[in-house]
Amino acid sequence: MRKNCFCLIMILLAIGSAAPAAGQLPPPDRFTITAAASKIKVDGILDEEAWRKATAIKLPYEQLPGDNTPAPVETECLLAFDGAHLYIAFRCFDPEPQKIRAHLMDRDAIDTFIQDDHVSVIIDSFNDERRGFQFRVNPLGVQADANFSELEGYEDFSWDAIWASAGKIADWGYAVEMAIPFNQLRFARTNQARTWGFSAERSWPRSVRHRMGSYPRDRNRACLLCQFNKISGFEGISPGRNLEFDPTLTMNRTDAMDMGAFPDGGLATGKVAAKPGITAKWGLTPNLILNGTINPDFSQVEADVAQLDVNTRFALYYPEKRPFFLEGADFFLTPVQAVFTRTVADPVWGAKLTGKTGRSALGFFAAQDRINNLLFPSNQGSLATSIDENVLGGVLRYRYDVGQGSTLGLLYTGRVGKDYGNHVGGADGFIRLGRSDSLRFQFLGSETKYPGEIAGDFGQKQGRFGGFTLQAQYAHLTRNWQVLAGYTDLSSGFRADYGFVPRVDARTFDAEVWRIFWGDGKTWFDRLMFWVRGYHTSDHSGRMTDSRIAMGGAYLGPWQSQVSVIGRLNREFYNGLTYDVSDLVLSLSFKPAGGWSLGFDSSLAKAIDYNNSRPAVALRLGPSIELALGRHINLNVSHLLERLLSDGLRTYTANLTQVRLIYNFSTRAFIRAIIQYQDLDRVPERYTYPVDARMKGIFSQLLFSYKLNPQTVLFLGYSDNSLGLRGIDITRTDRTFFLKIGYALVL
């Protein structure tokens, strides 16, 4: 619940700065789009007749750091269309073109991408002010695209469309062209001229990141899409047959050591596994999409970000990155994360139906999985296991738009296997109470049955048992104030095996207040933010298990600097005792020049040594740096140090380092090396059970990638894992060779 609303706050803050009172703002302009007067070649050179006669949209407003003030540089967005494509171009004038920041990178490398000059558009093709398709391009033609779902505060750059782009840097600035096929968008069927919501934006990063847009933004309205420009026209367009086939061939070989012979055993050569598969997408209607896959390739080319799992109680969260699941993922979002597709590990087949008709939105997903991944939550911790058996699972989501900006929804998830079943169902809603106020709620009930042996091994109830969760949140979001208040209740018997709910048996009251001060683009700060937050969590016996009172402040200023300080008075119940776990958190980040980014996260906390049930002190330090060396090379280095002490004596020191080095040949091809190194140094006599004094691990990956588009790809890679213990040098325990070929056939 809080995560989604916090994301919405940060999106609202990041997209624009404060605005004057609503009555002082002019209404957003409306534009009529006409057919292209000539053919358009997407090459970044705007020399066609079509662009001379295209609809022109100026970007006159600076929203950040200005306050709907005149834009410091001139920008023009041009629009045209033909029967198959929406064409968008930008002319971005720059008084100092030598300072344009532009680097080659993989598409959707958004953390690096936003440091560059770039332009973006959001298209609300249903004109319902709830959901938009976002497309961004930098001066070299690098792409980034995303789904933006306003009600959930969800901006997902894992969503991919197949479209064309190009950029050119000139002595006056730079130009960008985009060609977006209509079959990559969704829109209502009509014989009349269509009206869509549309925004155009330019990011001009110098000492500060100037963000300019095509319409004025009122920050006292807690919505973005409702303030967009409107574009109309598009007569005679069609998404075509909207049929796409994506066959893949994946081949890999894993050589592994028999760990019973570690470290003296060699690597046994594995068998080459070849796995052909196919995924298809069919537009049943212009706004209803059916996806199906047989023997799918759900391998992950992108390595998960390394996380420390040393002194934790609950399961770690890793985001979904597999393309099949990401299509229409926002249709399945609810306040409780009852749908988490990474629980599907090795599917035989999968099918998905997503779309919207009128005020109704529908999402359906089903899969047969060879592995049953189970998470056993409680108030005090979570356990997990995997069962090698077939399970059938499915998700059904329905949402109905009510009035201006409100929705009501239903959700069902189910998974069944041998002597096993989990079913979850309930209702949710988002009610817009006014320009700045909203209420979000959800109720879910569950019924679960585990196999008898599994239930006994993990302390779960035998036979069928049930549970529920209730969640509600009120939000007041304005220019200068953000107020949130919420309640969550998770009963001890609630299970969402298709989701990610690592904690149950908890009732939480939560409230926070933010105060934001805005600079005028000339002061020593761009924004100052201060907040206070408090929450109280108890189990269903009434015992307090967690409480917090926190105060924090953040500064945003020149060099795209961000500094935040948070002090928290925390109490936590664990294993029969209540501990003081108060902490102080400091975070810094700077972007002093193009392609340079520096960060530092740290905390000093009273803590709990969960392994030995005693009070402790924890220190965490996390420096990071990202460097762009010319246009082609990107280097990212991050480190995390964690040290735990109790009674003034050290219990362990953990170090985790990740290095990513990428050489980008072009906008389509790169070679990348990743090394993750973990070193856990423990003091055995400080533990109540036997532990290894030293554990070292190295994960490395080398990958060559060529992407003609997100689905027409070639990946060639190698990865390995190594382990070291006290007195044993780091020894390689396995290695994998990997090849994937994918092709997108769009009809």
* CATH number for the domain formed by residue range(s) 2-233: 2.60.40.1190
What φ, ψ does residue 262 adopt, rounded to 5°? -60, 135
Which pLDDT band, with edges at 50, 70 and 90, does 468 fall under?
very high
pLDDT score of 55: 97
Q: Cis before residue 65, ω within 30 degrees of 0?
A: yes
pLDDT score of 188: 72
Model confidence at 302: pLDDT above 60 = no
Model confidence at 2: pLDDT above 80 = no
| Dist CA 266 CA 731 (whole Å) | 10
Which pLDDT band, with edges at 50, 70 and 90, does 621 fall under?
very high
pLDDT one-digit tens code per residue, 328-369: 777 888 999 999 888 888 888 999 998 888 889 899 999 999
Token pair recorded at residue 475 = 């939000």
Mean pLDDT of 491-505: 95
| Dist CA 97 CA 120 (whole Å) | 19
Residue type, 664: N
Check if the beta carbon of residue 499 is closer than 8 Å to that of residue 490: no
| 728 SS3 class | strand
Query: Strands 229-233, 30-33: parallel, antiparallel or unpaired by DSSP?
Result: parallel
Token pair recorded at residue 115 = 């440091």
DSSP string, 550-568: EEEEEEEETTTEEEEEEEE
Indicate the helix (H) or strand (E) that contains 584: strand 583-590
Model confidence at 3: pLDDT above 80 = no
| Dist CA 482 CA 450 (whole Å) | 43
pLDDT score of 24: 73
Place of tokens 């340079």: 596
Q: Would the CA dihedral through 687, 688, 690, 691 be positive or negative?
A: negative
pLDDT one-digit tens code per residue, 684-743: 999 999 999 999 999 999 999 999 998 899 999 999 999 998 888 899 999 999 999 999
pLDDT score of 223: 86
Token pair recorded at residue 645 = 């002490």
CA 486 distance to own-chain centroid: 23
pLDDT score of 260: 82
pLDDT one-digit tens code per residue, 38-49: 999 999 999 999
Q: Which of 3-12, 277-286, 305-314 is the most confident on average?
A: 277-286
Mean pLDDT of 268-297: 84
Q: Out of 154-163, 317-326, 438-447, which region has the weakest mean confidence (pLDDT)?
A: 317-326
pLDDT one-digit tens code per residue, 126-144: 888 888 999 999 999 999 9
pLDDT score of 18: 35
How many residues are there in the chain? 747
pLDDT score of 395: 96
Model confidence at 92: pLDDT above 60 = yes
Model confidence at 298: pLDDT above 70 = no
| 314 SS3 class | coil
Query: Residue 374 CB: number of other CB atoms within 10 A?
Result: 22
| Dist CA 267 CA 264 (whole Å) | 10
| Dist CA 296 CA 292 (whole Å) | 9
Which pLDDT band, with edges at 50, 70 and 90, does 8 fall under?
very low
Check if the beta carbon of residue 238 is closer than 8 Å to that of residue 182: yes
Please name which of 280, 286, 288 lies closest in space to residue 353, comparing C-alpha atoms.
288
pLDDT score of 316: 62
Model confidence at 12: pLDDT above 50 = no
For the chain, which residues make up each domain, given as ranges?
A: 2-233
pLDDT score of 315: 61
| Dist CA 81 CA 91 (whole Å) | 18
Which residues have CB under 8 Å from 27's CB, separation 6+? none
pLDDT score of 6: 41
- Residue 708 CB-density burial (10 A; 0-12 exposed, 13-18 middle, 19+ buried): middle
pLDDT score of 17: 35
| Dist CA 2 CA 7 (whole Å) | 8
CA distance to 2, 12, 165, 535, per residue, from 485 (Å):
9, 18, 43, 10
Share of the chain above pLDDT 90, in %: 67
* Mean model confidence pLDDT for the chain: 89
Which residues have CB under 8 Å from 685's CB, separation 6+? none
pLDDT one-digit tens code per residue, 448-462: 999 999 999 999 999
Mean pLDDT of 472-485: 95
| Dist CA 87 CA 43 (whole Å) | 12
Check if the beta carbon of residue 36 is closer than 8 Å to that of residue 50: yes
